[in-house]
Amino acid sequence: MTERMIQARGVELCTEPFGDPADPPLLLVMGLGASMLWWDEGFCRLLADGGRFVIRYDHRDTGRSAACPPGRPGYTGQDLVDDAVGVLDAYGLGAAHVVGLSAGGGLAQLLALDHPDRVLSLVLISTSPAVPGKRRLPPPTRDVLDFATTVDVDWSDPASVADYLIGYERMLAGAARPVDVAAVKGLVARDVARSRDIRTIQNHDLLEDEDRPRGPLSSITAPTLVIHGGADPLFPPAHGRALAEEIPGARLLQLDGAGHGLHRADWPIVARSVLEHTTTGR
């Protein structure tokens, strides 16, 4: 299929569907600062071939979606949550199975809390609890902190941005999941080339949250599957366990040796688990 521009709550967003619209819908929500390309097309097609109508989309300030001036996002984190509803509306979908990765998993949790009628089930990959609680969770590892404090990016230079994104991906993958550097370079090149302005991905770091009252994770009613890497350096495994413990009935699939994100080596088990979960979800 091809990319489709939609109007979601008055904002232009770029989306791409895979599969038969008559199949159960599955909405993929990527993390912040990342376009929909980071949901690899091959993974999307695995899900579509399994009988799901898959939709991936660019957040605001990523890819071909609406962009604000660098350093001046004209929206909040809550808007990104509600944009997911706008995507469902644009496709005429009352509800969908929702899969969120990294900060996209946080957005998916808030979507399930704010709009429970729009979420058939949840899959939370490489993420952390999105609402406050009494839990004490470990911080990112030293590798993450070292990378964050030593990286130097010239955001006006696409080559420098590409080097940064490739280095970030290699650090997150961890030692047990060697990164296909050529594949990542190709993805980053496509991401930079199709972006309205690659500098705007930094706007996600400036987003503020609206002070919206909402219940704890224990009030999530959507059937939930938590998938977490056993070597995740950004959100160590305790983050995934906390989600599985706090969301009623949630199941945890820990991928031994996996880092942060969705590595090609883990596509088969993740796709199979998502398909099984979205068959049994309400």
**DSSP secondary structure letters along 30-60:** --TT--GGGS-HHHHHHHHHTT-EEEEEPPT
Quick one: what percent of the chain has pLDDT higher than 70? 98
Asked about 232 being catalytic, the answer comes back as yes
Higher pLDDT, 148 or 47: 47
Tokens at 98, concatenated: 């929702």
Q: Where are the beta strands (DSSP E) in the chain?
A: 4-8, 11-18, 25-29, 53-57, 96-101, 119-125, 224-229, 251-255
* Domains, the chain, ordered by start: 4-280 (3.40.50.1820)
Asked about 260 being catalytic, the answer comes back as yes
Higher pLDDT, 163 or 228: 228
Contacts of 145 (CB under 8 A, 6+ apart): 139
CB atoms within 10 A of CB 84: 29
Q: Of the residues 58, 65, 97, 102, which is catalytic?
A: 102
pLDDT band at 1 (very low <50, low <70, confident <90, very high): low
Q: What is the pLDDT of residue 56?
A: 98
Q: What is the pLDDT of residue 33?
A: 92
Look-up of token digits 């987003």:
207
For residue range 55-72, list pLDDT tens digits in order.
999 999 999 999 999 999
Q: Is the dihedral of CA 83, 87, 88, 92 positive or negative?
A: positive
Asked about 195 being catalytic, the answer comes back as no
Quick one: what percent of the chain has pLDDT higher than 90? 77
Average pLDDT of every residue of the chain: 93
Q: Of the residues 228, 260, 263, 277, which is catalytic?
A: 260
Q: pTM for the full model?
A: 0.95
Look-up of token digits 């880092």:
259
52 pLDDT exceeds 90?
yes
Alpha helices in 56-138 (DSSP H): 77-90, 103-114
Tokens at 177, concatenated: 């999941």
Q: Of the residues 61, 191, 232, 266, which is catalytic?
A: 232
For residue range 73-120, list pLDDT tens digits in order.
999 999 999 999 999 999 999 999 999 999 999 999 999 999 999 999
Q: What strands, in cross-sheet order, belong to the sheet with 25-29?
A: 4-8, 11-18, 53-57, 25-29, 96-101, 119-125, 224-229, 251-255
